[in-house]
């Protein structure tokens, strides 16, 4: 029965209370371990389409009569448009439409960051559109941008109200400590750089607006666009069958969608608006920089007595305050915790979610400080983490729905033990060391999410749901789940997704929520088909439903005898069996989180400051694993991205003008083939007994969370230097080494 409940909904650590109607989950979880299909490695069901270059991305759309848009963006971090003449653009060859600030909401004549959109044109070709943008006659009054964090804090320039949290008494906790670490950590701005840039093509079909877009959230785009154009929601149809990466930055419609839709309306033709790489790197979101002031105290046995943390999150002009204090609040069973998070507003491009927003930054500071504390106390860092293990949610005493962190620690032990052997391999200027860091993140997903499953007369199964596969392999995971439930081979299942007009509502692919939200819905839809199949079989073979069950693609009777599924579906000819499924509620009164630990091995050249990551061991607890092969790829991908933000990636701004200097893939250093270490990935793979009919959590984000801290802790192990900022480029490394030498000269003991 449908039940109306008020529930907490979490996406990327943002909690809201809302009403949802949920179907009670009536299915028992499958037993633990690899089953027929679920839990076994599966190659991607859409792998061939992608590898053969047949997959059609938004960038590959060629709609008849399609025009191309280009956007006039502010070259200044803060300015006022004093004169704007669109006429010269309109007069140019191939131009079909021009819009300015008075025509559309996101266009402005008072830009507050570089790249904010001012005007846009649509033309027959991209080159014509670009030329027309150049021809727009615009004069700017350049205003003084606010770029300095200190100054912004003094002026109380915030995007949202600061967030405070407190339990116990940190001052008392610090007074009780035998050792205290007080330090400042900094993280940089990181650019997503999905290889497919942000883009949409919009086309009006009568009163319906069709939006083809590279997105992580079809339904979010639908709602935003419907609101902006004052349309009933279902008069906006959003389509994305293949998308070329998002990593958090493609969760909303973006100015390019609104521009394409408005220009399509005015010209009566489809319009494609695509950011180029340089626009992408200025204007499509970023991981916000942070300045973290931490004080950690512990007793001589390593028990944490206090965590005091202040986070300045430099969000840029807009955005939201990511849960940067989450790890400090939830990772350890510390009684005295105080955190402050401030979302500082500056005249820089707005942040957007980037794979585990907040937790990547917060884990870096916390886990580095904890290692510094362990060094001061001369304790084993792994032991310190065990000692402070939280058996229940330290924020509100709620039990965890499941937590296998101790098992992760146990499995990491032999990899941590390698440190003696790794250190011994140091030679000459190249010093080697090992470090570790714990991971904590959300990833439980939630309702509402729906799926349909249809079984055709020929025995093939199609899963239909309007979700998206952003490259994480969710199509494959959904197919595996349906195949498992119906006891049929994976090859018999097709997954249709990516179109709000073709299938029910599905969650955002963000916050590691796709599999834990959609998987249970798909399973319950498949089970609905299974139930009907048995009802029909019982009638056909004149037996009772309760003696029949589905097994290995057959209907098996307890009384002996079995029939192929086709013996039933074959009766239907063109008839179909249609199943409905919905995501059930999350367990009440429980905290659903993912956990893990990574162990990094590094080599540091003490003369050049070069840091090479040689090996990463990762073990994560995300409940039941649907596809171990795809999961391994997710872990590798997360770690490689993390190596990027740990060692080489950094958005640089001109300190005077606030302009982004790293606009190209030449100046912004993504990890390449040559930067990849040996990666050993493991998953605990134990279903969360309290979470849904699957017991699965999301894996998109956990692997990127602890890597930076593990690497930096390995650097300390190798060199004795405390690195407190990322990226650790050579300059940063050499500075930290010089400081360590200074400290040694002054007689203070170096880290152990």
Partner 1 sequence: MVNGGLHEVDVPVGTTLADALRDVLGLTGTKIACGEGHCGACTVQLDGVPVLSCITLVHTVGEREVTTIEGLREHPLVQAFVEADATQCGFCTPGQIVSAAALLAATPRPGHDEIVHAMSGNLCRCGTYPKIERAIEAVAAENRGG
Report in angstroms how near the CB of residue 277 gets to ligand FES at its nearest: 8
- Spatial CB neighbours of 610, under 8 Å, sequence gap ≥ 6: 604, 730, 733
Strands (E), 162-289: 163-167, 179-187, 199-205, 208-213, 236-239, 271-274
Contact positions with ligand FES (CB under 6 A) in 452-511: 471
Interatomic CA distance for residues 380 and 384, integer angstroms: 6
Stretch that binds partner 1, among 171-179, 445-453, 558-566, 665-673 (CB under 8 A): 665-673
Preceding amide of 727 cis, omega within 30: yes
Tell me if 245 sits within 8 A of 194, measured CB to CB.
Answer: yes
Report in angstroms how near the CB of residue 745 gets to partner 1 at its nearest: 40
Interatomic CA distance for residues 245 and 115, integer angstroms: 22
Stretch that binds partner 1, among 171-179, 554-562, 579-587, 664-672 (CB under 8 A): 664-672
Which pair of structure tokens corresponds to residue 329? 């609040």
In the DSSP assignment, the letter for residue 539 is H
Binding-site member from 111, 245, 322, 698 for ligand FES (CB under 6 A): 245
Residue 752 engages ligand FES in binding (rule: CB under 6 A): no
Report in angstroms how near the CB of residue 665 gets to partner 1 at its nearest: 4
Facing residues of 418 across strands? none
- Chosen from ligand FES, partner 1, none, partner binding at 296 (C-beta under 5 to 8 Å by type): none
Q: Could you write out the DSSP letters of every residue in 624-682?
A: S-S-HHHHHHHHHHHHHHHHIIIII----B-TTT--BS--STTTS----GGG--EEEEE
Stretch that binds partner 1, among 2-10, 460-468, 633-641, 723-731 (CB under 8 A): 633-641
- Chosen from ligand FES, partner 1, none, partner binding at 670 (C-beta under 5 to 8 Å by type): partner 1
Spacing of C-alpha 181 from chain mean position: 31
Residue 65 engages partner 1 in binding (rule: CB under 8 A): no
Binding-site member from 240, 243, 422, 506 for partner 1 (CB under 8 A): 243
Contact positions with partner 1 (CB under 8 A) in 249-278: 276-277
Contact positions with partner 1 (CB under 8 A) in 450-509: 470-473
Q: How far apart, in Å, are the Cα atoms of 526 and each of 40, 89, 697?
A: 19, 55, 20
Residue 44 engages partner 1 in binding (rule: CB under 8 A): yes
Binding residues for partner 1, total number by CB under 8 A: 54
Stretch that binds partner 1, among 114-122, 161-169, 369-377, 635-643 (CB under 8 A): 635-643
Contact string (CB under 8 A) for partner 1, positions 568-597, x = contact: ------------------------------
- Chosen from ligand FES, partner 1, none, partner binding at 632 (C-beta under 5 to 8 Å by type): partner 1
> Cα angle at 12 between 700 and 26, to 5 degrees?
75
- Of the pair 5, 127, the CB lying nearest ligand FES is at 127
Report in angstroms how near the CB of residue 665 gets to ligand FES at its nearest: 7
Interatomic CA distance for residues 248 and 441, integer angstroms: 15
- Spatial CB neighbours of 743, under 8 Å, sequence gap ≥ 6: 750
Orientation angle between helical segments 707-719 and 730-745, nearest 10 degrees: 40
Interatomic CA distance for residues 687 and 31, integer angstroms: 8
Report in angstroms how near the CB of residue 729 gets to ligand FES at its nearest: 24
Report in angstroms how near the CB of residue 608 gets to ligand FES at its nearest: 29
Residue 195 engages ligand FES in binding (rule: CB under 6 A): yes
Binding positions for ligand FES, rule: CB under 6 A: 195, 245, 471
**What is the contact surface with partner 1 in residues (CB under 8 A)?**
43-44, 46-57, 59-60, 62, 192-197, 242-245, 247, 276-277, 470-473, 629-630, 632-633, 636-641, 664-666, 670-674, 676, 679
């Amino acid at each position: 029965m449908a039940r109306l409940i008020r529930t907490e909904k979490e996406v990327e650590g943002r909690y809201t209370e809302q009403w949802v109607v949920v179907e009670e989950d009536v299915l028992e979880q499958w037993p633990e371990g690899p089953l027929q299909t679920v839990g076994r490695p599966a190659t991607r069901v859409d792998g061939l389409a992608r590898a053969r270059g047949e997959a059609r991305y938004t960038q590959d759309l060629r709609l008849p009569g399609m025009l191309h848009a280009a956007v006039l963006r502010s070259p200044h971090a803060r300015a006022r448009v004093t004169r704007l003449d669109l006429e010269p653009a309109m007069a140019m060859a191939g131009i079909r439409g021009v819009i300015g600030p008075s025509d559309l909401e996101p266009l402005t004549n008072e830009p507050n960051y570089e790249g904010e959109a001012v005007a846009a044109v649509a033309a027959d070709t991209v080159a014509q559109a670009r030329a027309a943008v150049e021809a727009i006659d615009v004069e700017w009054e350049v205003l003084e941008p606010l770029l300095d964090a200190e100054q912004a804090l003094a002026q109380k320039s915030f995007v949202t109200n600061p967030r405070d949290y407190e339990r116990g008494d940190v001052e008392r906790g610090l007074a009780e400590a035998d050792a205290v670490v007080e330090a400042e950590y900094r993280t940089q701005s990181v650019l997503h750089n999905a290889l497919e840039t942000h883009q949409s093509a919009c086309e009006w079909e009568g009163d319906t607006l069709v939006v083809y877009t590279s997105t992580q959230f079809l339904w979010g785009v639908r709602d935003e666009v419907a609101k902006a154009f004052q349309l009933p929601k279902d008069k906006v149809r959003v389509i994305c069958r293949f998308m070329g990466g998002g990593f958090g930055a493609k969760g909303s419609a973006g100015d390019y969608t609104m521009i394409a839709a408005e220009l399509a309306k005015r010209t009566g033709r489809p319009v494609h608006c695509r950011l180029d790489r340089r626009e992408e790197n200025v204007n499509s979101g970023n991981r916000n920089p942070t300045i973290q002031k931490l004080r950690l105290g512990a007793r001589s046995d390593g028990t944490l007595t206090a965590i005091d943390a202040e986070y300045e999150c430099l969000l840029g002009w807009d955005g939201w305050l990511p849960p940067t204090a989450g790890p400090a609040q939830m990772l350890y069973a510390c009684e005295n915790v105080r955190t402050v998070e401030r979302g500082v507003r500056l005249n820089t491009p707005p942040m957007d979610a980037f794979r585990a927003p907040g937790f990547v930054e917060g884990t870096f500071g916390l886990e580095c400080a904890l290692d510094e504390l362990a060094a001061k106390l001369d304790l084993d860092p792994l032991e310190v983490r065990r000692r402070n293990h939280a058996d229940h949610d330290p924020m509100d005493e709620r039990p965890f729905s499941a937590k296998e962190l101790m098992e992760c620690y146990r499995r990491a032990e032999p990899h941590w033990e390698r440190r003696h052997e790794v250190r011994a391999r140091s030679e000459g200027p190249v010093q080697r060391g090992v470090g570790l860091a714990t991971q904590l993140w959300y990833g439980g997903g939630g309702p509402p999410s729906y799926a349909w499953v249809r079984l055709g007369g020929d025995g093939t199964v199609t899963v239909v749901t309007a979700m998206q596969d952003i490259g994480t392999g969710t199509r494959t995971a959904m197919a595996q789940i349906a195949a498992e439930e119906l006891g049929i081979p994976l090859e018999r299942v097709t997954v249709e997704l990516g179109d709000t007009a073709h299938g029910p509502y599905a969650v955002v692919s963000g916050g590691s929520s796709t599999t834990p939200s959609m998987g249970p819905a798909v399973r319950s839809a498949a089970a609905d088909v299974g139930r009907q199949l048995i009802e029909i079989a019982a009638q056909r073979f004149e037996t009772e439903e309760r003696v029949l069950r589905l097994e290995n693609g057959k209907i098996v009777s307890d009384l002996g005898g079995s029939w192929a599924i086709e013996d039933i579906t074959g009766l239907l000819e063109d008839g179909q069996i249609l199943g409905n499924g919905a995501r059930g509620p999350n367990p009440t009164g429980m905290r659903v989180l993912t956990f893990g630990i990574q162990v990094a091995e590094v080599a540091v050249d003490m003369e050049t400051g070069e840091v090479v990551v040689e090996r990463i061991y990762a073990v994560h607890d995300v409940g039941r694993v649907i596809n171990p092969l795809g999961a391994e790829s997710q872990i590798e991908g997360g770690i490689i991205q993390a190596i990027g933000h740990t060692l080489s990636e950094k958005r640089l701004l001109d300190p005077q003008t606030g302009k982004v200097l790293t606009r190209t893939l030449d100046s912004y250093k993504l990890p390449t083939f040559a930067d990849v270490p040996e990666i050993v990935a493991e998953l605990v793979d134990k279903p969360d007994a309290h979470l849904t009919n699957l017991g699965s959590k999301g894996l998109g984000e956990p692997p990127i969370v602890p890597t930076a801290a593990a690497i930096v802790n390995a650097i300390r192990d190798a060199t004795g230097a405390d690195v407190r900022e990322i990226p650790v480029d050579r300059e940063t490394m050499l500075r930290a080494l010089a400081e360590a030498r200074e400290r040694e000269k002054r007689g203070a003991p170096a880290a152990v």
